[in-house]
Amino acid sequence: MTLDRLPPDWRRYYAKHRKAVVTAVTGLLYVVGWSLGFLADAALASAAVLVLATIVGGYDIAKRGYYELRSRTLGIKTLVTLAAVGAIGIGAYWEAAAVVFLFSLGSYLEGRTMRKTRSALQELLELTPDTAIVRRDGELVDVPAREVEVGEIVLVKPGGKIPVDGEVVDGESAVDQAPVTGESAPVHKADGDEVYAGTINQDGALEVRTTGAGSDTTLQRIIRRVEEAQEAQSPTESLIDRFATYYTPAILALSIGAFAVTRDAMLALTLLVIGCPGALVIGPPVSIVSAIGNAARNGILLKGGEHLETAGKIDLVAFDKTGTLTRGETTVADVAGFGVEADEVLRLAAVAEKKSEHHLASAVLEAAAERDVAGGRVETDGGAAVEATRPGGETAITDPDAFDVVPGKGVVASHDGREIVVGNRALLADEGIAVPDEVADYVREREAGGETAVHVVRDGTVVGAVALRDELREAAPEVVRSLQDAGVRTVMLTGDNKRTARTVAEEIGIDEYRAALLPEDKQAAIEAFREAGHVVAMVGDGINDAPSLATADVGIAMGAAGTDTAIETADMALMADELTRIPDAIALSKATRWNVYENVAIAVLTVGLLLAAVLGSVVHLAGGMLVHEGSVLLVIVNGMRLLRY
């Protein structure tokens, strides 16, 4: 009876579970054949059933062995096929069936565990609901989530799963976004906050304007990125693959040589089978795949096995200060005027900074708005200022007539025929502007408190200073201590002046700091660390960190959720702004590195002992195959431990 005559449900089941069915049938035939020979003394019937078991179980193996030979490679399936055929040729029927059955069983278990490992993250997709409640033409309608269009308003009820990426436009709630960012605690969401598909709305209704749906969501991009990373080979995997191309033919030559010397066909066939580097080839990929899947479920995206292995060797972590060790939420702490009112100093600074996209500019403009220094209101979008007007229509903070950014130093602008300079000492030195003693004393005092102070200059005279503060992240000292306890040196790289940098470094307990650095200086510092023999990780979050992130052995981007560029380009991306993930990621990388070494050791030791045992006539074909397959399963189980690290 052919498969076409089976009911459709049976055919679908067979197609889906072919390897399991073949393994089970082979095992059953093997038991029957062995029983006929040893219990019923029916040698001919036993041989026939065992040959049938070998054919059933060996068909797929031989087929893949044929494809291996066509691609000019000599793999384990070719060797197993040769061993089975050879065993039948010398009348060792039950050994032939045993080899095929054990290999088939091992392959089935191996495939099942690997699929489970790879699909661990895919299960997150099941968190995304299939339908969404969308407001269309004034009514709420249920539509497939993948058909929601960008800009449409989606209603998410309390306790419901969010079906799209979007921005909250109405309502407040706590959202469990662990599937995307790995954050253990729910995050409060209100107007203007981003939410992600697959996360869970807990206690309040939310209306969300869609920014991405279907395959265009952060969670989908994470899944794709992780799958690509799991497919990318690590250096160890590449090395083992190259080794296997020479090792397998060597085993074949050893087998032929053994037969030529001893004329013992069973010995030659046993060498052929147990010499296969199955555990050596499968061990490292299982470790890498498990570690990448574990990291992703905890909000850490790794670019691939190469970067995972490199991260396991990190002995120096360099931090950018602003937005990494600090919250990146700079506010104006104080404004001092020297010969003019403080509000006038702030107004001048706001005019000069109005077109700047620097985070300090946003803080100055927000302070100007709060103090209403121009009699109106200035609004920002968190970065560059946006147009704002007085109630009567007059612009609150006027645009500068001319504006020039001096990277790492400040801005030079002109307004109403007067020059305004806002910047640090280096900028004032470049412009040939003298700093009065009382201003210098004020700036030093603010910097000693860990603040950043910028001078405000009008027509070549320093008229005031603005002190800005960015609060440290609470976890920063603990993260630094954790890294130091793990033997990792910590360094802070900042564009701030030395006094501010020293205060922050002492507060955090960091090993070393380097201050007054331009972006190219940070990059040079990373290069110097590498040339000194360190394996360097750079942690940053801003565009100005990009050169340093690219130069480091491992570039770590923070707060990557919703940022396509960070997800696609960073060697390692932390989906949430959680510094504590960094020691976790490095610890996982080091554990993975050791796990790979363990698997290589298990594989090499097993094959070495088996070869010695076979040559000493202690182990025979079926027993050797059993131990060989056991070593394969052992390295798989060992690698899968990283799923729960």
Residues involved in catalysis: 320
Please answer whether residues 304 and 229 qualify as being in contact, where contact means their C-beta atoms are separated by less than 8 angstroms: yes
* 226 Cβ neighbours under 8 A, 6+ residues apart: 121, 292, 293, 296, 301, 302
**Structure token pair of residue 450:** 């860990």
* Continuous H helices in 303-395: 305-311, 342-353, 359-371
Identify the residue whose tokens are 């603990």: 478
Grouping H, G, I as helix, E, B as strand and the rest as coil, residue 555 is strand
Amino acid residing at 398? T
* Continuous H helices in 570-620: 581-615
Tally of CB atoms within 10 A around 156: 28
**Structure token pair of residue 176:** 């469990």
**Structure token pair of residue 13:** 């089941």
Instruction: Compute CA distances 253 → 268, 465, 565, whole Å.
Output: 10, 81, 51
The DSSP bridge pattern shows strands 194-195 and 385-386 to be: unpaired
Please answer whether residues 272 and 623 qualify as being in contact, where contact means their C-beta atoms are separated by less than 8 angstroms: no
DSSP annotation string for 189-251:
E-TT-EE-TT-EE-SS-EEEEEEE-TTSSHHHHHHHHHHHHHHSPPHHHHHHHHHHHHHHHHH
Q: How many residues would you count in the chain?
A: 645
Identify the residue whose tokens are 């193996």: 61
Tally of CB atoms within 10 A around 548: 26
Instruction: Compute CA distances 167 → 128, 190, 542, 577, whole Å.
Output: 17, 9, 22, 18
